[in-house]
Amino acid sequence: MSVETRTKRITAPEIASRKGATPIVALTAYTAPMAAMVDAHADVILVGDSLGMVIHGLSSTVGVTMEMMILHGQAVVRGSRRALVVIDMPFGSYEESPEQAFRNAARLMAETGAGAVKLEGGSRMAPTIRFLAERGIPVMGHVGLLPQATHTLGGFKTQGRDTESWPRHMQDAVDVAEAGAFAIVVEGVVEPLAIRMTEAVAVPTIGIGASARCDGQILVLDDMLGLSARVPRFVRTFADLGAQADRAIADYAAAVRERSFPDEANVYR
Ligand code: KIV
């Protein structure tokens, strides 16, 4: 069914079945109007915890809370009808134990209506992913550069520049897939490693700063629309909305100051 006519939501198993097929189109969204725009074109909408930095001005995703994720998750589900909505589990909501992860994942899904959760981590998180998947929670994995681990990684650093680390990264992807993740975000790894990971796992990889040979791609919406002040090298800006917004706001300010706004068309007689 075409992107335009389909009304039933895409499911996690449908995304899983896209391994090696047409690339999966994924983007983030945090609000209902943006979700509606993305929904018309994307297969997956991620309510990413990047919202902490993009929307709330935090310096990392570490300070994002369950309440923030739920509020934005509800808006995104309301604004979309077709794409699979995946919601990020925030830092501190799943690492302690599989039981803690289940409680919070179930809450995120029940209170927002999202179709899946995403959590960061490789082999270390495999038992948790298995625990959730066996209890009815579709899980998207996230390996490579892990933004929530910025404090231990010492910043947002491309992973796999040293080939000695490749076996560890490969094992992460394999363990996450074998634990039952329906897809895996591969973030910020050197391209040959991303290709090897994609070849090694039976579920789709969704790349960000990885490789065009992943099974799909994801970007932060504000970055690709040109709304972010600075973007990493792996982002292509498909529009320059930041500059357009700046011009529009400057024009509005000038019109107010010279009393040319509102004019005849904007007032009630
Ligand atoms: O939080 C987020 O937006 C993400 C994507 C960058 C994959 O995890």
Round to whole Å and give the CA distance between 54 and 56: 6
Choose which residue among 44, 46, 217 to substitute to test ligand 1 binding: the one with the highest number of ligand atoms within 8 A of its C-beta: 46
Which ranges in the chain belong to alpha helices (H)? 12-16, 32-39, 51-54, 66-79, 98-112, 126-133, 150-153, 166-178, 191-200, 221-224, 241-257
Which tokens is 164 given?
Answer: 């000695």
Q: Return the residue whose CA atom lies nearest to atom 2 of ligand 1.
A: 48
Which tokens is 228 given?
Answer: 């972010």
Q: Residue 220 C-alpha to ligand 1 middle, in angstroms?
A: 7
Sign of CA dihedral 147, 153, 158, 164: negative
Which DSSP string do the residues of 144-192 spell out, in sequence order? Answer: ES-GGGHHHHTSS--B-SSGGGHHHHHHHHHHHHHTT-SEEEEESB-HH
Is domain 3-238 in CATH 3.40.30.10, yes or no? no
Taking the CA of residue 50 as reference, the ligand 1 atom at the shortest distance is: 1
pLDDT tens profile 14-34:
999 999 999 999 999 999 999
Q: Which residue reads 């039981």 in tokens?
A: 99
Q: Which residue reads 């972010």 in tokens?
A: 228
pLDDT tens profile 140-195:
999 999 999 988 888 889 999 999 999 999 999 999 999 999 999 999 999 999 99
Any atom of ligand 1 within 6 Å of the Cβ of 185:
yes
Distances (CA, A) of 159 to 146, 147, 151, 181, 215: 9, 12, 15, 21, 19
pTM score of the predicted model: 0.95
Any atom of ligand 1 within 6 Å of the Cβ of 205:
no
**Does 2 have pLDDT greater than 60?**
no
Cβ contact 216:207 at 8 Å: yes
Average pLDDT of the residues of the chain: 96
Q: Return the residue whose CA atom lies nearest to atom 5 of ligand 1.
A: 48
Choose which residue among 50, 72, 94, 219 to substitute to test ligand 1 binding: the one with the highest number of ligand atoms within 8 A of its C-beta: 50
pLDDT the model gives residue 7: 66
Choose which residue among 208, 214, 223 to substitute to test ligand 1 binding: the one with the highest number of ligand atoms within 8 A of its C-beta: 208
Sequence ranges of the binding site for 3-methyl-2-oxobutanoate? 49-50, 88, 118
pLDDT tens profile 70-89:
999 999 999 999 999 999 99
Structural domain boundaries in the chain: 3-238, 240-269
Any atom of ligand 1 within 6 Å of the Cβ of 208:
yes
Nearest Cα to Cα of residue 163 among 189, 201, 199: 189
- The catalytic residues are 187
Round to whole Å and give the CA distance between 185 and 208: 7
Any atom of ligand 1 within 6 Å of the Cβ of 223:
no
